[in-house]
Amino acid sequence: MSRGLVIGESLIDIIERDGRITGEHVGGSPLNVAVGLARLDHDVDFMTHIADDPYGRRIAEYVKASGAQLVSGSITATRTPTARVSVSEQGLPDYMFDLDWQLSGIPTAAPPVLLHTGSIAAVQEPGCLALAALIDAYRVSATVSLDPNVRPALIVDRDVACERIERLVQRSDVVKASNEDLRWMHPDRTPEQIAQTWLALGPSIVVVTTGVKGAFAVCAAGQAEVPARPVQVVDTVGAGDAFMVGLIDWLWRSGLLGADRRGNLRRIGLDALTAALNAATLLSALTIARAGADLPDRSALHAAAHFR
């Protein structure tokens, strides 16, 4: 039992500047996590919803090239999702999605050691309902990790979305959210307060990324905090997904994933948690130093760690 299962959306980001299309890139937060873990030599299955069209074939080829395996039944959509990203003169992105989220794939027969999900897949019907059932089924064998990665442009009812996310928090072992996610969900509370509330719901670890300030995490042993790594920023796309990959990778290599290790994960100490956060910030820094959500492979990670 050594495979991971990532469930969630994949799409094509269509970049626009001054009304002109300047680029098209494979995207989607869960896809980035699946690809990132595969590039770090983990066996990963990716369950998504794309079409057998040029965009869908491009996504399928990208997943395969990373070393991840697309789950059977993932290519059943009528059209592959897209996100039209308009970039302002200040460099701020504005997203408009064309996305239908459903689940009809057949996950790997072998019980996974990890199930990761989040973002649009966590809140958009009808797929989010099937996702919740799959989490309940696979929690018996797997550590469940969650990154809400909130997309307000797709959310019609804020209260329903927040309720769905927090139900998934209850079922999860490792939760990572950005301070922007938490501000959108609970504008009247601090990230520290929300992290402690979520920890009490059931997870072993709740991590909050705070942009240029770094990240902090809470667990039963207390709170750990690390600064952001100094880096020449080229592109912040994928920074949060890379952080999630770095965190999962550290826990995986440390033998803390799998339902049978849930007790060990719950007893994680602050030194170990700090090491996990440092690994996550390194992978995030390497990613934002490149154009696009281009997560590094194991050799690039080793080289960076050697020189730091």
Per residue in 103-116, pLDDT (tens digit) is 987 776 688 999 99
pLDDT (tens digit per residue) in 148-173: 999 888 898 999 999 999 999 999 99
pLDDT (tens digit per residue) in 66-91: 999 999 999 999 999 998 877 665 55
Average of per-residue pLDDT across 191-214? 95
Ranked by mean pLDDT, the top range of 43-52, 87-96, 281-290 is 43-52
Q: What are phi and psi of 284, to 5 degrees?
A: -65, -40
The chain-wide mean pLDDT, for the chain, equals 89
pLDDT band at 17 (very low <50, low <70, confident <90, very high): confident
In the predicted structure, residue 301 carries a pLDDT above the cut 90: no
The residues with which 225 forms a beta bridge, in sequence order, are: 216
Rounded to whole angstroms, the Cα distance separating 36 from 30 reads 10
pLDDT, residue 92, reads: 55
pLDDT (tens digit per residue) in 24-52: 889 899 999 999 999 999 999 999 999 99
In the predicted structure, residue 145 carries a pLDDT above the cut 80: yes
pLDDT, residue 86, reads: 74
Q: Could you tell me if 3 and 113 are in contact, meaning their C-beta atoms sit under 8 angstroms apart?
A: yes
List all residues 6 or more positions away from 12 whose beta carbon is below 8 Å from its beta carbon. 24, 25, 26, 27, 55, 58, 59, 80, 81, 82, 83
In the predicted structure, residue 290 carries a pLDDT above the cut 70: no
In the predicted structure, residue 234 carries a pLDDT above the cut 80: no
pLDDT band at 1 (very low <50, low <70, confident <90, very high): low
pLDDT, residue 131, reads: 95
In the predicted structure, residue 306 carries a pLDDT above the cut 70: no
Q: What are phi and psi of 83, to 5 degrees?
A: -130, 115
In the predicted structure, residue 238 carries a pLDDT above the cut 70: no
Number of separate domains in the chain: 1
Identify the DSSP state of 119: G
pLDDT, residue 87, reads: 61
Q: Look up tokens 């301070």; give the residue.
A: 179
Q: What sections of 172-238 are H helices per DSSP?
A: 179-185, 191-201
pTM for the model: 0.92
Residue 152 CA to chain centroid, in angstroms? Answer: 16
pLDDT (tens digit per residue) in 250-273: 999 999 999 999 999 999 999 999
103: left (phi over 0), alpha (psi -120 to 50) or beta: beta
CATH code for the domain in which residue 203 is found: 3.40.1190.20
Average of per-residue pLDDT across 8-24? 84
Q: Between 22 and 41, name the one with better pLDDT.
A: 41
Which among 120, 10, 112, 1 is positioned nearest to 64, based on CA atoms? 10
**Domain range spanning residue 74?**
4-306
**Percent composition of the chain: helix, strand, coil (DSSP 3-state, to 5):** 40, 25, 35
In the predicted structure, residue 305 carries a pLDDT above the cut 80: no
Q: Could you tell me if 39 and 166 are in contact, meaning their C-beta atoms sit under 8 angstroms apart?
A: no
Q: Could you tell me if 148 and 206 are in contact, meaning their C-beta atoms sit under 8 angstroms apart?
A: no
The residues with which 98 forms a beta bridge, in sequence order, are: 82
Strands 20-27 and 11-17 come out as antiparallel
pLDDT, residue 160, reads: 95
Q: Between 237 and 278, name the one with better pLDDT.
A: 278
pLDDT, residue 50, reads: 97
Average of per-residue pLDDT across 2-28? 87
pLDDT, residue 250, reads: 96
The H or E element spanning position 13 is: strand 11-17
In the predicted structure, residue 236 carries a pLDDT above the cut 70: no
Rounded to whole angstroms, the Cα distance separating 246 from 284 reads 8
pLDDT, residue 293, reads: 64
